[in-house]
Structure 1
Amino acid sequence: MGIYSRLEGSGVRLESWGATDDRWYQPIDSFASTFAGFPIGPEIAKRVSAVFACLSLIAETIASMPCILYRRLDDDGAKERARDHRLYHTLRFRPNPWMTAMDLFGCGQMHAGSLGNAYQEIKDDGHTIELHPIHPDLMTVEQLESGRLRFEPDTPTRVRSAYCCKIRSC
């Protein structure tokens, strides 16, 4: 007896969706309905060991790659490490007092993999001196009439400041 014939008699619904089925075009959100009948969001999904293991493997692999800042020497593509650049040490070794670069990039990749976005706050004194992770659920993103995006952290401990950037299309 094949697997499909066993499933047919088990009460499990076997169905396929066409290219024009509305299921493909519904917005994907954190609380989408499931066949189980209750919503599964990113925080609940991360409690499943297989999901967490996959997210951790991806995040730790990407975070373990060195972040090296280069200086372009000419238009022919020649480059050298920019060890004397003010961002070199911040990006390569210590983005803030309590995290290594691997910790920061791993945290960012875990946020991006499970929640869809990763944000870091730039602390500066005219020059970038520290990068601090911000949980994506604590960030408000708004598109302005000019087409730019406005990012504002929603945490009471942070200074309420907005960051703007242009929308880039891939």
Structure 2
Amino acid sequence: MNIFGFQISRRPTKQEAIDAFSSGGFAGTRLGSRSKPMLLSTVYRCVDLISDSVGVLPLVIYKLDKDGFKTEAKDHPLYWLLNLAPNEFMDRMTLNKILVISALNRGNGYAYIERDPQTNHPTQLLYFPPKTWRWAGFRTSPDSSTCDIASSASTH
């Protein structure tokens, strides 16, 4: 068929089938990695909303006074880390948000607890991506790609 000098013809279209057991491509090869679902705007927005909501929640440490009433323990060693600055790189909300994003995308969110050698009080909480370490005694691999951390030195 010829319209306005342009040749118009019908060509067969390429159709791509999605396996019924592949969850629309998430479990198959198309979106199989953990980071690719975050490329979908709906998944990204849901994870962003949940992590923002949890990130702004207050983390309050209480102590019981002699009468049995709860009062905020501002002198506790963890008060500064949980409410103001968990480490020198980020604020409280950022660390909480990263931990929740990691938990939603990978199943767990981990923070390494750095302690003062003299007092054993926590000095920093550092985010650790789940794939970069495993439970064991502290040692690094020869290529420094992973490091083993004792369970007492981390929280999740």
Amino acid at match of 1:61: S
TM (norm. structure 1) is 0.64
Against the structure 1 CA distance between its residues 153 and 54, is the aligned structure 2 distance closer, same or farther, given a 3 Å change threshold? farther
User: Where does residue 49 of structure 1 map in the other structure?
Assistant: 41
TM (norm. structure 2) is 0.69
Against the structure 1 CA distance between its residues 139 and 151, is the aligned structure 2 distance closer, same or farther, given a 3 Å change threshold? farther
Q: CA deviation at 1:41?
A: 2.5
Q: CA deviation at 1:153?
A: 8.3
Amino acid at match of 2:58: P
Against the structure 1 CA distance between its residues 151 and 68, is the aligned structure 2 distance closer, same or farther, given a 3 Å change threshold? farther
User: Where does residue 113 of structure 1 map in the other structure?
Assistant: 104
User: Where does residue 50 of structure 2 map in the other structure?
Assistant: 58
Identical pairs, percent: 24
Q: CA deviation at 1:98?
A: 1.4
Amino acid at match of 1:118: G
Query: Structure 1 residue runs of 4+, over 6 Å off?
Result: 11-14, 151-155
* 2: CA distance, partners of 1:34 / 1:60: 27
Is residue 2:59 matched to residue 1:67? yes
Residues 139 and 154, structure 1, Cα contact 8 Å, conserved in 2: no
User: Where does residue 127 of structure 2 map in the other structure?
Assistant: 133
Taking only aligned residues, the RMSD between alpha carbons, in angstroms, comes to 3.0
Amino acid at match of 1:66: P
Secondary structure of the 1:59 match is helix
Give the structure, 1 or 2, with the largest relative contact order (CA under 8 Å, sep 6 or more). 2
Q: CA deviation at 1:157?
A: 7.9
Against the structure 1 CA distance between its residues 102 and 138, is the aligned structure 2 distance closer, same or farther, given a 3 Å change threshold? same
> Which has the greater radius of gyration?
2
Amino acid at match of 2:92: A
Residues 34 and 40, structure 1, Cα contact 8 Å, conserved in 2: no
Which consecutive unaligned segments of at least 5 residues does structure 2 have? 1-16
**Aligned length in residues:** 128
* 1: CA distance, partners of 2:45 / 2:63: 37
Which consecutive unaligned segments of at least 5 residues does structure 1 have? 1-10, 15-22, 24-32, 142-149, 166-170
Against the structure 1 CA distance between its residues 154 and 52, is the aligned structure 2 distance closer, same or farther, given a 3 Å change threshold? farther
Q: CA deviation at 1:44?
A: 0.6
Secondary structure of the 1:95 match is coil
Secondary structure of the 2:77 match is coil
